[in-house]
Structures are given as C-alpha cells and as structure tokens.
Chains A and B, each alone.
Chain A
Amino acid sequence: MSIAATTAREVTAQLATGKSKDRTVGSLVFLCALWFSLFFGVMVLVALIASTAIKGAPRFDAELLTNYTSIVRPETAGFRAGILGSLWLMLFTAIMAVPLGIAAAVYLEEFADPNKPWNRLIEVNLQNLAAVPSIVYGLLAVAVMALLGFDDAGIVLGGALALALLILPVIIITTREAVRAVPREIRDGSLALGATVWQTTWRQTLPSAVPGIATGTILGLSRAIGEAAPLVVVGLAGSVLFDPEGMMSKVTALPMQIYSLTSQSREELREAASAAIIVLLVMILGLNALAIYIRNKFQRSW
C-alpha cells in the first residue's frame, strides 16, 4: 500500500472514532444493537451448556463412560457403545475423506486451469455440495451401499461413508485455502531449479500447507462427529449393546443415542441424554482445541 493510502486510512479511522457525532443517541443505540447481536450467540451458548449440565449433573460418573444404554435401568445408562462407535466412524470417515479431499484440492489448486469450463463446473459444484442438506448424503450412502451389495443397515462402513461424503467438500475447500496460502515464490523457486510440478507440490507446497490442511481436516471431522441426520437415514440403531469390532459391525454413535433418548419423553432418559450431550460437546471442544493448537503452533506467515 502506498504511503498516501495508508495515511488516508489512518485519517479515516481517526475521523471515524474521534468525532463526537458518533455519540448521538441514535448512534449509541445502534452500536448497542450491534453488540447485542454479537453476544446473543454467546448468551444462548451459555444457557444451552448450563441448562444441559444442570440436567445431566447427577449422571457424571464412571458408569456414563463404561456402561451400555439400558431402558430398564436408565439411571445407570452409559454411552460406551456410542463413544466407541463415534470414534470408529471418525476413523473410517477420515480414511475415506482425507486422501480424496487433499488429492482433489491439490489438483484444483496446482494443476487445473481455472479458466477451463470443466474446472469452473467443479468449482461451482463444490460450493453447492457444501450446502446440500446432510440428510441427503444419508440417502446417497444408502444407495451406494445397496449398489456395492451390502445388505446390512447400520454398519460402520455405511455410517462412515455418509459422513465422508458429507465432509469431503469441507475438506477440499479448506485444503485449497491452505495450499493457496503458500506463496508463489516457493513454487517458482522449486520450478526454476528444475523440479516438475508434482515434485514441487509434493516436496514444497504440501509440506508448507500441512498445518492448514490438518486444521481444516480436524474441523471437518468435528462437524462429522456431531451429525446425526445422515446416520438416521443409513439406519444406525439408537442403542447397541456391544462394542464395534470392524467395518461390518453394527454400530451406534453418540449423536444417535442422544436423538433416540431425547425422542422418548421419560425424564430419566432425558437426564442420560443431557450427560451424553456434555460428553459429545467435550469431544468436539477437544477436536477444536487441537485444531487451534496446530494452527497457532505450526502455522507460518510469509
């Protein structure tokens, strides 16, 4: 930016803040309204967490993590199957979605000519896929599973497939941003030394983009771990009384258990659901904290 533009910007900022015209009643009311809209969400979040934690408080014990759900004795219901199920689903979701997402992003950023209509189509299509309702991905996963000849509903593979399809656009979009943030000069330097485009991508661009890619992937997974809608469609059970033990094993997930417990109107089950929500929120918070840690620790600015 030129000096003139910088000075102009500073003067603008001074004018904008220093003048007493911003202190009229109307302006202050407006500013308060903006503050309110900014913090409304935080207030809702506090209310949500507080009310849920209070409801679920009697259930914070070891049984919550080690027991299976029980309709007969809901006061001892635990979420072992759901927690393990969610972890298994995340593992297979990541295995399916991450390599594909990164490969697609690398192609679009490093190889594709953005002016070709075909690549523009991919672009628009991606933006659209990111906004397709999650429940529709459940329908797609059902159809793909039927096509592949798996007859059992509610298995790890089906659930993971639905979630992988759901977060694939998210991973592609965030990876593209991470790759794009790597400065042009690094690529030019590598290419000038005789490396091919692929060598440049593999040895220079991707390693520099890893923190961004990891952050995006973890955020994508933290979205997947909280999703219930596609899992309902894929046919995951609300309650399973054994640990998942493979791709073909019947499974449930934490959000599914919350859904099925909440839809029954017994108070003890709601209590168990509240406790499960706190567990789920802790898991998601953990993933987000990890993403933020990676971003702050490893991200370079050029």
Chain B
Amino acid sequence: MSTTTAGPAGPSNATGLPAAPFLGAKRRPLEAVIKALLIISAMLSIAITFGIIAALIRPVIDFFGEIPFSTFFSNDQQFGVLPLVVGTLMVTVIALVVAVPLGLGAAMYLSEYASRRARKVLKPTVELLAGVPSVVYGFFALTFVTPALLQGLLNLEIGFTNALAAGLVLGVMIIPTIASLAEDALSAVPQAMRQGSLAMGANRMQTTVRVVLPAAISGVAAAIVLGMSRAIGETMIVALAAGAQKNSSLDIFEGHQTMTGFMAQTAGGENPVGSLEYNTLFAVGMLLFLITLVLNMISISIVRRFRQAY
C-alpha cells in the first residue's frame, strides 16, 4: 500500500539506524472523489423526496388553475376527492380492524411466549404475508373472498366489488407491518418489569397485557400508524376489489373507489399528458403523499420518543 512513496519504518540504509517513520497522512485524491460520490448517493435520498414534491407540484398548480379548491374537496362526480377519501378511510378502517388485533396477537406471542428457537421459525412465517404481491391479494379478494366467502359462505347481499372484501384482504396484508414493529416495541421493554410483575404473583397473561403492553404502548401506536399509512397507500387490492365508482355512502357492502384506486384507473386510461383528467391524477397523488407523509412522521416521532424512554 504505502511502500512506494512514504518508505516504511525499519532498519535501512548505511547508518544502521532505523529510518524515521513517515507520520504524515499521504495525500489520496482518489479517496476524496470516492467520498464525494458516496455523499452524493446519500443526498440522493433527499433529492428523491424533493423530486416527488417537485414532480407533483406543476400538474397540481395547473389543476387548481382550472378547478377551484371547493370543487376538489367536494362530492363532485368528476373532480371531487371527497368520495375517494371516504372510500379510502372505510377500507383502511376495515383493514385495521383485522390487522390490529391479529398483528398485536402475533407480536405478543413472538415477544412474550415464544422461545428463541420458535421465534426464529415463526417470525419469517408471519413475514411471508408481506412477500405476496398486492396484485395477487387483489385477485384473491375479487375471485375468492367476495364470491366464495362473503356471498357463498356468509350469504351476504354484497356487490361484486365491495369495500368489505378489499378491506379484509388489505388487513391481512398489513399484519406483518404491525406485528414486526410491535414486536420490536414489546421486546424493548426491560426484563425487570416482567420480573417485577411475576414476583407480585401475576401470571403470564396478566404480565403481558397489563405490564408489558402498556409499557410499550407508544411503540405499538407507532406500528399501528405505520400500518395505517401502508393501508392508505396500497393500490392494487383496492383497484381490483374495492370498486371503480365514486361512492360517498358508508355501506361496506357497496363498491367504493379509493384514492389509489382512482389513480390506477386514471393512469391506466388513455388520458393525454397535461390534460385536466391527467392532472387530476397528480392532485389526488399529492393529497395521498401528504396524508401518508404526516402519518409516517407521526410514527417516526413516536418511535423516537419511546426509544429514549428506556
């Protein structure tokens, strides 16, 4: 490495004395270049965030040049976003009703009951669910959950596309998100708190539910908020199974188009770039981005706070 220029320390030349070691740093211009490249790569992640905002802002300005805010945030059949927000919220709430208990249950088992060996096998099993592509879940909701489960088994008077099936399947999809973050939070609770609870005569269930869970509640909340953000932003399940009609009623048996479903439909259609319909896509996209951004920020800040607690 440094044999050519600096000269290593050690016995050398005629005097028989060791040469003075070279202690100064060798100039390495290439390393400065490499470091600069690395910094640029890291900065790119920030550039992506600003890129998203920049990419959205122009079409959004064009859009609001023609359509006033009051029409956008209304029930207007063509440009109103309100029915889409209602649809998104309904599907998300159904998804959370499925995913919160099941995700927390799985997290509590993994963190409080499973042995280390069992956890090593069981955790990937739960995470398998996250590996299935969402378009496959969408197909499953449309061709199995609605016709076979809801119409066949439960005999419900339900539409061919409906908020219920989409929400249920979406819930299954976000179980791993909630389970894995909540498990991290539960595992972070100090062992001493469990020992204290057990020493007072509580059994395992009481310890889990009344001591560990409350102690980890902020982390669990962060997990739920992140799961919610995932559910709101998920596209293919709702594009296939939740319906393609704007619908601001609250009937879960009817089809409801969501924000992402609307975006997929508009983008898949033949709208020329720059047209009003095409810009609507960006306006809805901006709203979606802002909603998920706020939720993610809430989740990140909760996690930060709970990490400092112990």
Could you tell me the distance between the alpha carbons of A41 and B172 in the complex, rounded to whole angstroms? 7
Given that A104-B41, A277-B139 are contacting pairs, would A229 and B289 also be in contact in the complex, using a CB cutoff of 8 Å? no
Within 8 A of B (CB), among A233-281: 233, 235, 255, 258-259, 262-263, 270, 273-274, 277, 280-281
Checking A30, A40, A44, A51 against B205 with a beta-carbon cut-off of 8 angstroms, the contacting residue is: A30
In the complex, which range does the number of interface residues on chain A fall in?
A: 35 or more
Within 8 A of A (CB), among B17-74: 28, 31, 34-35, 37-39, 41-46, 48-49, 51-52, 54-56
Q: Is A57 an interface residue (CB 8 A)?
A: no
Binding site secondary structure of chain B: helix
B297 near A288 with CB under 8 A, answer: no
Q: Is A129 an interface residue (CB 8 A)?
A: yes
Checking B37, B46, B126, B137 against A122 with a beta-carbon cut-off of 8 angstroms, the contacting residue is: B46
Checking B105, B133, B229, B281 against A34 with a beta-carbon cut-off of 8 angstroms, the contacting residue is: B105
Smallest Cβ distance from B108 to chain A, in angstroms?
6
A35 near B195 with CB under 8 A, answer: no
**Residue interface mask B94-122, A partner, CB < 8 A = 1:** 00000001111110111001000000001
Could you tell me the distance between the alpha carbons of A58 and B194 in the complex, rounded to whole angstroms? 55
A27 near B203 with CB under 8 A, answer: yes
Could you tell me the distance between the alpha carbons of A194 and B101 in the complex, rounded to whole angstroms? 55
Could you tell me the distance between the alpha carbons of A101 and B44 in the complex, rounded to whole angstroms? 10
**Residue interface mask B203-242, A partner, CB < 8 A = 1:** 1110101000000000000000010011011111001100
Could you tell me the distance between the alpha carbons of A284 and B133 in the complex, rounded to whole angstroms? 9
Q: Which of A40, A227, A235 has the most CB of B within 10 A?
A: A40
**Interface residue total, chain B, C-beta cutoff 8 A:** 92
B134 near A229 with CB under 8 A, answer: yes
Could you tell me the distance between the alpha carbons of A36 and B148 in the complex, rounded to whole angstroms? 22
Smallest Cβ distance from B303 to chain A, in angstroms?
9
A19 near B203 with CB under 8 A, answer: yes
Within 8 A of A (CB), among B174-221: 175-176, 191, 194-195, 198, 201, 203-205, 207, 209
Given that A45-B129, A229-B260, A232-B267 are contacting pairs, would A107 and B134 also be in contact in the complex, using a CB cutoff of 8 Å? no
Q: Which residues of chain A come closer than 8 Å to B31, judged between CB atoms? A: 196, 198
Checking B45, B55, B133, B297 against A129 with a beta-carbon cut-off of 8 angstroms, the contacting residue is: B45
B1 near A229 with CB under 8 A, answer: no
| Given A41-B129, A104-B42, A139-B56; 4 other pairs, CB 8 A cutoff | A16-B207, A51-B144, A127-B300, A198-B28
In the complex, 10 of the A-B residue pairs with CB atoms within 8 angstroms, ordered by the A residue number, are A38-B125, A41-B106, A45-B128, A48-B137, A51-B140, A52-B136, A133-B233, A140-B51, A228-B236, A262-B143
